[in-house]
Chain A
Amino acid sequence: MPVRIQTEDFDAGAEIAALRRSDPKVGAVASFIGVCRDGSGDANDGDPVTKMTLEHYPGMTEKALEKIVDEAKKRWKVMEVLVVHRVGELKPTDQIVLVVVTGAHRGEAFAACELIMDYLKTRAPFRKKEQTPQGARWVEARASDGEAAQRWEPPKSSAA
């Protein structure tokens, strides 16, 4: 199963080792870890984040992530893909998401890993709620995430 949703933390090293399975054909392992961050001091979000709750739409989340993994595998010659995403209560410095892609060469592994994260940010039904000293607030989607996902789309024809 290339997609896992869980409340518990993950061990990236162990996950990568399991995915590689000592396969001598693997020449590249690209991975990404998303971490819960205290954005206080940022231009956009001012308040310190003490805690975050991640909720999702069970069933659709797995389905959406599997589609994203399939899309990446269709575009690039990669071997194995793993996506682990945590839900529930998290605090700054906690790991949130792990994406690992193995392949023969780095270019395709990097690209697949990046596409998976960009699509995850815009297509997988997760929602973050931050606790700040000012109270709880749902995190708003960022326009930059939409733009990051957009660059993987084929250019739209301008034909009328």
Chain B
Amino acid sequence: MKVKVLYFAGLREQLGKPGEDLELSASVSTVAGLRTLLMARGGAWQSALAQGKALRVAVNQDMAQPTTPVKPGDEVAFFPPVTGG
């Protein structure tokens, strides 16, 4: 399935891109699964997305949890904890 993945702020700088369109295999069905898949790229991906790093994930612009399903056509965004106001 196709999904759109976005990276914001420091994460975008560490990963060197603002986002990408990905074709996922059927084995990836949750936010946690997608994060694991991206980490497996190694290097900056491994370190920036490592478990224990405080990261927020949104699916279709709503805050998501590791167990949140990822479906065809979804927009999944990764970003560090927010600092507005």
State yes or no: do A and B come from one complex.
Answer: yes
Q: Are A121 and B8 in contact (CB under 8 A)?
A: no
For B9, give its contact among A34, A55, A97, A142 (CB under 8 Å). Answer: A55
- Assembly CA distance A85 to B85 (angstroms): 7
Asked whether A97 and B62 contact (CB < 8 A) given A127-B9, A138-B9, A141-B80, the answer is: no
Q: Which of B21-80 contact A (CB under 8 A)?
A: 54, 56, 58, 61-63, 77, 79-80
- Assembly CA distance A96 to B84 (angstroms): 9
* Main secondary structure on A side of the interface with B: mixed
Size category, B interface: 10 to 19
For B8, give its contact among A54, A117, A125 (CB under 8 Å). Answer: A125
Q: Are A125 and B56 in contact (CB under 8 A)?
A: yes
Residues of chain A lying within 8 A (CB to CB) of residue B56: 125
Q: Are B54 and A141 in contact (CB under 8 A)?
A: yes
